[in-house]
Structure 1
Amino acid sequence: MVDLIACEWMKWKRSRMLWLMLLGAVLPALLVFLVELNGASDSKSLDWVNYFETNLQIMAMLMCPALFSLLIGYLFAREFQERTVNNMLTGPHSRLRVLTAKFIIAFPVLLAVMLLTFLLMLGTGFFFHGAGDTLTMSILGKEAGKYALLLMLQYALTPISAAVALLWRSYIPAMGLGIFAVISELTIMQSKYIMYYPWSATLNLATNMSPGHNSASIGYSTMALAFVVPLVFIAFYFRRADVHSG
């Protein structure tokens, strides 16, 4: 199992997707920094909570659904795209172990994006007046917890993107799923059913954008179903399907 994980990690390190991970972390942080810089003044200290949470909302609403779906789709469909899936599956490891290794690698991939954007927000915040005086460990810990929550909620959505990529044997449909998720979550956020839809439930649980409809019990139940159902489907499908490289 360790060999499989190491192999997947080596393949990922050599992937061009690393540049997308970097852009996905840097662009939202840069946007928030420029907006804050435009309204900054020497008479007003930086509001760290607003600074962090503006970035968190951009990540939860726009960047994570689209980018993470693409990254996961690529991770699971790469061998089909490059016609090397036969070589991968003729080794001594079972198909379920191969899937497990990919899901294990998926976590540090998503973690790297979230951690980098959090550190960028923390570092760039000190460019503003009064930032050192207003930042407390309480604020830092609370905001770090929200980023960690968003990471876990987004990871719970990875089986959906993986299922789409494996069914179509390409990461392009997974990318389309990410775009659809961005559009649909913004639409459903206006309704009372937001906690029943995985992407809008993720957005509301992480950012509390619609507090009147924010039900933790319904939201986490939705996320549990969104994780378990496609995960079980992938396990049965990948074990039994006729998988070949064409």
Structure 2
Amino acid sequence: MFLISIVGAVVAPFMCFIGYLMKKTERPDIPIKFNEFFVDTNLYVVLLIGVLLYGVITSYLFNREYVENTLKNVLTIPISKISIIISKLTLLLIWIITLTVVSWVLTLILGLMGSFEGLNTIILIRSFKEYIIGGSLLFLLSTPTIFVTLVFKDYVPAIVFTIAVTMVNVLIANSKYSVLYPWSAALVIANNGFRPEYPPIYSYISIVATSIIGFVATIIYFKNVDVK
């Protein structure tokens, strides 16, 4: 699953790279800026591919014991259900950050191969920061997916949920409401793309509230559900 997720993580950089090469072929007189390449790739990661990819990973981590019918055996060990959730969340965070770094590194490599212009230390540091912030915020927003996975004990509802989230992302990405919707607000915060209609605190509140509600619902459900 980890190797498959690596393949998923490189999709966005390659998609953007091919798109920029096509653009360069049509307009060779216009230079391609490294900063634009980093920003556009992060947009694809946070708004589209990341939501789906990280959702699949989340459902895999939290559903595999149900699929393999091993959860009841795990619970015979003197370990609390909350500890199981926390350990899986820790692994999920490491996994997401690793894939985020892979996307950033590949974006850098492809940009160098394409001889894109404007690369400097400031852009490197800023883009890396934006990627890590975006990945971290998507991790916080994984808790609703965890809850859906545990309730239905199947991959399909969780995948359908992430698809629905992604469709809404696409719908409102360029509107002023993107700062209010948690999953699009992640990109707004990462890229500092706040809008004058709403204070930045609204974006932070929407993400934190969604994360906490999902986490609390997950803990309450998992602690009280009977494992058969």
8 Å contact 1:204–1:210 — kept in the other structure?
Answer: yes
Superposition pairs for residues 146-157 of structure 1, below 5 Å?
Answer: 146-157=130-141
The separation in 1 between residues aligned to 2:108 and 2:175, in whole angstroms, is 34
The separation in 1 between residues aligned to 2:12 and 2:208, in whole angstroms, is 28
Aligned twin of 1:170: 154
Number of equivalent positions = 226
The separation in 2 between residues aligned to 1:208 and 1:183, in whole angstroms, is 22
Residues 172 and 121 from structure 1, CA distance in 2 versus in 1: closer, same or farther, beyond 3 angstroms? same
The separation in 2 between residues aligned to 1:215 and 1:146, in whole angstroms, is 20
Residues 178 and 39 from structure 1, CA distance in 2 versus in 1: closer, same or farther, beyond 3 angstroms? same
Q: Deviations over 1:111-140 (max 9, x none)?
A: 121110100011111113364xx3111111
* 1:142 matched to 2:126: yes
SS in 2 for 1:135: coil
8 Å contact 1:198–1:223 — kept in the other structure?
Answer: yes
Aligned twin of 1:11: none
**Structure 2 gaps, min length 5:** none
Q: Deviations over 1:38-85 (max 9, x none)?
A: 233776554110011110111112101111111101111111111111
The separation in 2 between residues aligned to 1:174 and 1:213, in whole angstroms, is 33
* 1:216 matched to 2:200: yes
8 Å contact 1:24–1:67 — kept in the other structure?
Answer: yes
The separation in 1 between residues aligned to 2:43 and 2:89, in whole angstroms, is 25
Aligned twin of 2:66: 80
8 Å contact 2:46–2:135 — kept in the other structure?
Answer: no
Superposition pairs for residues 182-197 of structure 1, below 5 Å?
Answer: 182-189=166-173, 192-197=176-181
SS in 1 for 2:10: helix
Query: Which 10-residue stretch deviates more, 203-212 or 72-81?
Result: 203-212
**Structure 1 gaps, min length 5:** 1-16
Pick the aligned partner of 1:121 from 76, 89, 107.
Answer: 107
How far 1:211 sits from its partner (Å)? 3.4
The separation in 1 between residues aligned to 2:12 and 2:5, in whole angstroms, is 12
Pick the aligned partner of 1:179 from 163, 167, 174.
Answer: 163
Aligned twin of 1:205: 189
How far 1:36 sits from its partner (Å)? 2.0
* 1:21 matched to 2:1: no
Compute the RMSD of aligned alpha carbons: 2.0
Aligned twin of 2:42: 56
Partner AA of 1:243 in structure 2? V
8 Å contact 1:21–1:113 — kept in the other structure?
Answer: yes
Q: Deviations over 1:135-172 (max 9, x none)?
A: 11111111111101101110111111111100111122
How far 1:194 sits from its partner (Å)? 3.1
